[in-house]
Amino acid sequence: MELVVDSGVKKMEGEAMRKNQTLICAPIMADSVDQMLILMQKAKTSGADLVEVRVDSLKSFNPRPDIDTLIKQCPLPTLFTYRPTWEGGQYAGDEMSRLDALRLAMELGADYIDVELKAIDEFNNALHGNKSAKCKLIVSSHNYESTPSAEDLGNLVARIQASGADIVKFATTAQDITDVARVFQITVHSQVPIIAMVMGEKGLMSRILCPKFGGYLTFGTLEMGKVSAPGQPTVEDLLNLYNFRQLGPDTKIFGIIGKPVSHSKSPLLYNESFRSVGFNGVFMHLLVDDIANFFRTYSSLDFAGFSCTIPHKEAALDCCAEIDPTAKAIGAVNCIIRRPDGKLFGCNTDYIGAISAIEEGLQGSQPSISGSPLAGKLFVVIGAGGAGKAIAYGAKEKGARVVIANRTYERARELAIVVGAEALSLDELSNFHPENDMILANTTSIGMQPKVDDTPISKEALKHYSLVFDAVYTPKITRLLREAQESGAKIVTGVEMFIGQAYEQYERFTGLPAPKELFKNIMSTY
Ligand code: NAP
């Protein structure tokens, strides 16, 4: 299948418009040829451009008839890989038979074959110059431990190129997300078609962004977790979550920095919203160990905006050249923008998200009153971490009388002094009810999946509250919220806070008004 040019925009024949030529390859791993044929059809339906036939996964293999069947019956172009155990594959047999099978694949019409750099001399010697003109030779090298220096990677690419490769392939392992930067540097300067991947969760960016940096192809699995190398996304996520076909050299990069981070729904929300208005950006999970090192490494203007979550919200303050006064007062940043002069600006949208959701919850269908409905209310915050600080600060700003209850009493006390509040230990909370009509905000992770039966306060005590908010948003209705509802209180969910803080971030990221209805629709399924 060829790429054709149509009015300056590249597309695959019979497919929707695409802005880049980078291919999506689905690895096919199965016990039998019949199972492989089923997966090949699935790959075609899923939108992959080609399949990688992992011959080493077959339990029995009869080279000539099996390769012939796999090529003739595959609805997509084929790449044949027969990975030996010494390069991370499953084939433990003799080398001669393995290389013979790859030569046979070339002869029978495979579009690509993959030969390891360590075996390429032996392969070339036996080929005697009879290389098929149709079949492209990928010469590959895999490092399952680390990502070498840019200089060593450059030398590796030169050696692969000198071996007669039509396409250079190397895969390394990310010990840190900053390793990916060296691989992008090699990809963007490569004079030959190149497949360059960084394996592992910290290398995910290398798999998603290869169209931006000119990579020849990326691998996408047919099912979550059924990977041929660590860290592969699914074809569906590449196409529908990351808008892979629309990525190009000028695509702006956004992401959520955290550790852990894979649970975050932010990529879902932002990428779908970017697509809805044709904004040229992509939003990813960024598993970051050291936030200062991350920003030092990824300092180009293309790395344009970031959400920031556990445990980096406080360290993020030190990375920003300018900080919004509210974020400074709260002591935590959850949104970072790279300005046109390259400097980082930090702000806190958790505060706005939570407080406006609680205000809306209090007002309900009542006509809006002047001033905040929080003014004068007794507002109990459970927790004194990043979210607790933001919400305690926000409630105080709106004129509430704030009480902070935390497991570690000392932290509650420190925050209470900063905000101008009263401090309690978590144990005192259930017997604390100086008045009725109070507001309660849980900002701890108590009740979050998987510990959904946990709750920070007894049901009995909830009758003293008129509104209960929970920052936890997985599940949407926590045990705390269910019991609050049963006790007659209004409830406000963490999803509403999530949406509220995201409106503000989206507008800062894109300069466009947030598509509020779309945000609500996307999050309504959670
Ligand atoms: P954080 O800075 O790590 O703070 C965690 C807080 O929870 C601390 O006060 C900690 O108490 C307390 N805590 C943790 N485990 C506890 C336990 N088993 N028992 C009692 N207290 C416990 O985290 P964060 O950034 O504030 O996030 C907290 C929660 O809010 C998370 O569930 C997060 O997903 C959620 N959140 C939601 C949104 C949203 O948009 N809905 C936004 C931000 C955060 P100690 O001081 O005693 O350790």
Are 395 and 298 members of one domain? no
Q: Which tokens sit at 129?
A: 């110059």
Instruction: Count structural domains, the chain.
Output: 3
- Residue 514, in any domain of the structure: no
Q: Is 142 a catalytic residue?
A: yes
What is the SS3 assignment for 91? strand
pLDDT in tens, 118-161: 999 999 999 888 888 899 999 999 999 999 999 999 999 999 99
Q: Which residues contact 337 (CB under 8 A, 6 or more apart)?
A: 304, 305, 344, 345, 347, 508, 509
The CB of 447 under 6 Å from ligand 1? The reply is: no
- Residue 174, in any domain of the structure: yes
What does the pLDDT read at residue 129? Answer: 81
Distance CA 463, CA 461 (A): 6
- Residue 503, in any domain of the structure: no
Are 227 and 137 members of one domain? yes
What does the pLDDT read at residue 525? Answer: 80
The CB of 443 under 6 Å from ligand 1? The reply is: yes
Query: Do 197 and 207 contact (CB within 8 A), yes or no?
Result: yes
- Residue 433, in any domain of the structure: yes
Are 27 and 77 members of one domain? yes
Please state the atom number of ligand 1 nearest to the C-alpha of residue 350.
Answer: 42
What does the pLDDT read at residue 365? Answer: 53
- Residue 195, in any domain of the structure: yes
What does the pLDDT read at residue 4? Answer: 35
Are 221 and 276 members of one domain? no
Q: Whose CA is nearest to atom 1 of ligand 1?
A: 385
What does the pLDDT read at residue 367? Answer: 52
Q: Is 377 a catalytic residue?
A: no
Task: State the Cα angle at 39 between 37 and 44, rounded to 5°.
Answer: 100
CATH code for the domain in which residue 273 is found: 3.40.50.10860
Neighbour-count burial of 124, counting CB atoms closer than 10 A to its CB (0-12 exposed, 13-18 middle, 19+ buried): middle
What does the pLDDT read at residue 366? Answer: 61
Domain of residue 285, residue span: 255-348
Beta strands at 50-54 and 401-406: parallel, antiparallel or unpaired: unpaired
C-alpha 17: how far from chain center: 24
What does the pLDDT read at residue 368? Answer: 57
Of 308, 382, 443, 457, the residue with max ligand 1 atoms within 8 A of its CB, to mutate for a pocket test, comes to 443
Low-confidence ranges of the chain (pLDDT < 50): 1-14
CATH code for the domain in which residue 364 is found: 3.40.50.720
> 297 — phi, psi (to 5°)?
-75, -45
Beta strands at 335-338 and 303-308: parallel, antiparallel or unpaired: antiparallel
Are 367 and 324 members of one domain? no
pTM over 0.85: yes
